[in-house]
Amino acid sequence: MAIKFEKHLDKVKEILQQAVRDLPEPMDLDSKIMADVDLITKHDKMDDSNANCDPCDIRDRIMCSIVDNM
């Protein structure tokens, strides 16, 4: 059982290392996929009572905005 676990652990480590190697450099990022900072800032400033009135979660709005700008 321990040997099987070690094999799985090694595979996970390999996958993670490959994923980190494949990450783009910060300058390579496309600005279209950047989050809308104004929308996030507005959410941070919102009062809890106002946030409860909106049926759409702010994270959904942010994701929709990102997809719309692609």
Q: Per-residue pLDDT for 7 more than 60?
A: yes
Cβ pair 53, 26 in contact under 8 A = no
**Tokens representing residue 57 in the block:** 């979660």
pLDDT tens figures, 16-68: 999 998 887 766 555 555 666 666 666 666 655 555 566 778 888 888 888 78
Assigned token pair, 38: 């104004």
> Distance (Å, rounded) from C-alpha 53 to C-alpha 67?
24
Return d(Cα 69, Cα 66) in angstroms, integer: 5
On the 0-12 / 13-18 / 19+ scale of CB atoms within 10 A, 22 is exposed
The overall pTM is greater than 0.75 = no
Give the pLDDT band of residue 15 (cuts 50, 70, 90): very high
Domain range list for the chain: 2-68
